[in-house]
Chains A and B, each alone.
Chain A
Amino acid sequence: MDIERKQAEHIEHFVKQASVIKGSPSSLVNIIVEATSHPSLFAFTEILSVPNILELQGTEDSRYLDLLQMFAHGTWSVYNSNASELPQLMPDQVLKLKQLTMLTLAEANKVLPYDVLMHELDVVNVRELEDFLIECMYVGILRGKLDQQRRLFEVQFAAGRDLRPGQLGNMIHTLSEWLGTSDSLLITIQEKIKWADSMSELDKKHKQENVEMLEEAKNALSLKADMDFRGHGLFGEPGGMMDYEDRRTKRRRHPMG
């Protein structure tokens, strides 16, 4: 949001200038032209709302008012289609309008293909386009990644343009959805925490049961072994054990061979 801070002074300056001058349309026109060519100024709503400027409506210089509105809300292609009704633009203004066009495009998509950009901005080659994008990034209105191989521009941050009347409703709607999502996320996290706790409880119980079963089995077997031992006597067991050991070592040796 540094761009807002940088703009704040300029906005104030122009608003003051515009409110001071009265009854002199040509100087108001000059102010408009100055504002639209200023390199760091991208917000025009405040200037638009100065009553002196609004008075231009209906006079012969209303074209400049339309121009100001165009800079506030419109794009380069809109300008081109209405070029006859609007005054000629100086190179600075052309650049600024194109930058504002970028902002509008960034509003719609986060990933902008080079072809679309070149079409919208009337730029012929990729080199020019990339230079233009890098310029925008230096000014501070855009932040993103240029992917030349896939011919994309990924937008990470784009400064806000002036609001159209209907946009506020959309913004509130988006915000409330965001709120809803984060609320449900919080609930999900809490449930996960409870789940983890309950699973660890179950696990502990399971282990406990296993240990108990093992103890029982051991006790039962030791009883049974005692009985067997007394029943069968020394029936071949020592011999069996000896043979088993021989067999074990021999078995281990063979796989090597």
Chain B
Amino acid sequence: MASSSSGLTFKLHPLVIVNISDHHTRVKSQSQPPTNSPAPRVFGCVIGVQRARTVEIFNSFELLYDPSTRSLDRSFLEKKQELYKKVFPNFYILGWYSTGADAEESDMHIHKALMDINENPVYVILNPLINHTQKDLPVTIYESEMHVIDGIPQLIFVHSSYTIETVEAERISVDHVAHLKPSDGGSAATQLAAHLTGIHSAIKMLNSKIRVLHHYLNAMQKGEIPYENSLLRQVSSLLRRLPAIESEKFQDEFLMEYNDTLLISYLAMFTDCSSTMNDLVDKINIASNAELHLESETVVNAQMAKGGALFDKLDHFRSRKLDQWRCGYGVKHDTTSGLPVGSSSEPQPNLVLFDPFLDLFVGGRVWVVAAASKLAETGDGANQTPDKSIFNRRQFLVSFKTIMQKIKTS
């Protein structure tokens, strides 16, 4: 198809594209069988404004297509047109749309039918087949022109170029749809990769623009281009805004946020570990208790009670330490004594809180198991203690002492 020579400039709004694709998707998903290929073609009307040489297509609506007569349902079109006129008095029917790969001969009939509404309708085609190699939108706009072919004057479709014009609301929705993919990705790695890819392309654009400026200034310096003072002034004021990220305040805030995220993830992982440990110890308790012979129930109960009390103390200690950390951390923000600004990104001072904490937890729980194993050993000599070598009694008495000391001093 030749290119248009009518000199009209076309502006297409994204709303039209979204409408057409939505229409196509609905019809395709509702038709049975759904895996039928090729998908049925859908048709509709586009409306908009025509000012002088600019044709701006704002909106569109669907039309019924009658395959038998190969024409569009006229009465429906007129009814719809009336309705739209009430809401948008400025919009006229500018043409029609359909889906498919390319314009066909039968389309000319429809085109001519519409010529009584608009003397020069436009024909918008959306290609629903997704082609990953193609970078542009699969939307083409055709106009009709009278050409003389083989001595017969005929109307043929000629290709026209168009630009995309957006209203603020359209920009927001398109932006939203474009960013929708990462939440589908699932795993954290794909989300991170998607986010980083976005940043990468943005910086790449910035990079290319800086390169252009650089080249231009070089040429100016060598004398190939005459000095343009206004531009030079603008560039100098721009360069003065660099460096944008080096200031001390930025470093402070950045490190604080970084430390916050690290600590939160550490805490979460930590709570997870302790709950797993809890389950493990319960299981060991079950396993070890199942082999115990009941000697004196009261003795066992007393030991278990002590263990329970110890658990409570540990839980209490843990929650107190958490609160301390939370409040203390807030204080540390202001004094900036706890956060190593600029030196390293590891939250060193606050890590000290968690290490004895871990010892306590592990030590405390294991002590109960040790108590259980002790009972098993003193109780029935004939009972074989399974592989409890990991629960060395002496180690536990030592760690038990340190644990009680720490609880006393906290």
Measured between alpha carbons, how far is A110 from B249 in the docked complex, in Å? 13
B193, B290, B293: the one contacting A193 at CB < 8 Å is B193
Q: Are A200 and B188 in contact (CB under 8 A)?
A: yes
Contact (A4, B312) CB under 8 Å given A159-B237, A196-B193: no
A1, A45, A176, A250: the one contacting B214 at CB < 8 Å is A176
B window 219-251: CB within 8 A of A: 220-221, 229-230, 232-237, 239-242, 247
Whether a CB of chain B sits under 8 angstroms from the CB of A98 is no
Q: Are A168 and B237 in contact (CB under 8 A)?
A: no
B188, B213, B308: the one contacting A255 at CB < 8 Å is B308
Q: Are B301 and A163 in contact (CB under 8 A)?
A: no
Measured between alpha carbons, how far is A175 from B304 in the docked complex, in Å? 73
A182, A200, A240: the one contacting B292 at CB < 8 Å is A240
Whether a CB of chain B sits under 8 angstroms from the CB of A161 is yes
Q: What class of interface size applies to chain B in its complex with A?
A: 35 or more
Closest 10 CB pairs of A and B: A160-B233, A200-B189, A255-B308, A254-B305, A160-B237, A251-B304, A160-B236, A175-B214, A182-B207, A45-B229
CB distance from B296 to the nearest CB of A (A): 12
Interface centre among B204, B236, B247 (most CB of A within 10 A): B236
CB closest chain-B residue, reference A190: B200
Interface centre among A7, A106, A189 (most CB of B within 10 A): A189
Measured between alpha carbons, how far is A174 from B297 in the docked complex, in Å? 82
| 24 A/B residue pairs, CB under 8 Å, sorted by A | A4-B230, A4-B233, A7-B230, A43-B229, A110-B247, A160-B232, A160-B233, A162-B229, A162-B233, A167-B236, A171-B239, A172-B221, A174-B242, A175-B214, A182-B207, A182-B210, A186-B200, A193-B193, A200-B188, A243-B294, A244-B289, A251-B308, A252-B308, A255-B312
A45 partner residues in chain B, CB cutoff 8 A? 229
Whether a CB of chain A sits under 8 angstroms from the CB of B291 is yes
CB distance from B248 to the nearest CB of A (A): 10
CB closest chain-B residue, reference A46: B229
Measured between alpha carbons, how far is A241 from B237 in the docked complex, in Å? 82
Measured between alpha carbons, how far is A6 from B350 in the docked complex, in Å? 56
Whether a CB of chain B sits under 8 angstroms from the CB of A236 is yes
Measured between alpha carbons, how far is A201 from B197 in the docked complex, in Å? 19
B197 partner residues in chain A, CB cutoff 8 A? 193
Whether a CB of chain A sits under 8 angstroms from the CB of B327 is no
B199, B292, B293, B301: the one contacting A189 at CB < 8 Å is B199
Whether a CB of chain B sits under 8 angstroms from the CB of A8 is yes
Q: Are B308 and A254 in contact (CB under 8 A)?
A: yes
B333 partner residues in chain A, CB cutoff 8 A? none
Q: Which residues of B contact A (CB under 8 A)?
A: 187-190, 192-193, 196-197, 199-200, 203-204, 206-207, 210-211, 213-214, 217-218, 220-221, 229-230, 232-237, 239-242, 247, 286, 289-294, 297, 300-301, 304-305, 307-309, 311-312
Interface size counted on chain A using CB atoms at 8 A: 53
B193 partner residues in chain A, CB cutoff 8 A? 193, 196-197
Q: Are B211 and A179 in contact (CB under 8 A)?
A: yes
A116 partner residues in chain B, CB cutoff 8 A? none
Q: Are B292 and A196 in contact (CB under 8 A)?
A: no
CB distance from A217 to the nearest CB of B (A): 13
A240 partner residues in chain B, CB cutoff 8 A? 289-293
Q: Are A172 and B218 in contact (CB under 8 A)?
A: yes
A window 166-209: CB within 8 A of B: 167-169, 171-172, 174-176, 178-179, 182-183, 185-186, 189-190, 192-193, 196-197, 199-200
Whether a CB of chain B sits under 8 angstroms from the CB of A13 is no
B199 partner residues in chain A, CB cutoff 8 A? 189
CB closest chain-B residue, reference A1: B234
Measured between alpha carbons, how far is A7 from B234 in the docked complex, in Å? 12
Measured between alpha carbons, how far is A106 from B188 in the docked complex, in Å? 44
Q: Are B291 and A196 in contact (CB under 8 A)?
A: no
CB distance from A255 to the nearest CB of B (A): 4
Q: Are B234 and A178 in contact (CB under 8 A)?
A: no
Contact (A196, B189) CB under 8 Å given A160-B234, A241-B290, A247-B301: yes
CB distance from B127 to the nearest CB of A (A): 31
CB closest chain-A residue, reference B306: A254
CB closest chain-A residue, reference B187: A200
Measured between alpha carbons, how far is A43 from B238 in the docked complex, in Å? 16
A247 partner residues in chain B, CB cutoff 8 A? 289, 297, 300-301, 304
Interface centre among B220, B240, B291, B300 (most CB of A within 10 A): B240
Q: Are A175 and B213 in contact (CB under 8 A)?
A: yes
Contact (A254, B237) CB under 8 Å given A168-B220, A182-B203, A244-B286: no
Task: A186-B203, A254-B308 are known; give 4 further A-B pairs, CB within 8 A.
Answer: A159-B233, A179-B214, A196-B196, A197-B189
Measured between alpha carbons, how far is A237 from B293 in the docked complex, in Å? 10
Q: Are A163 and B229 in contact (CB under 8 A)?
A: yes
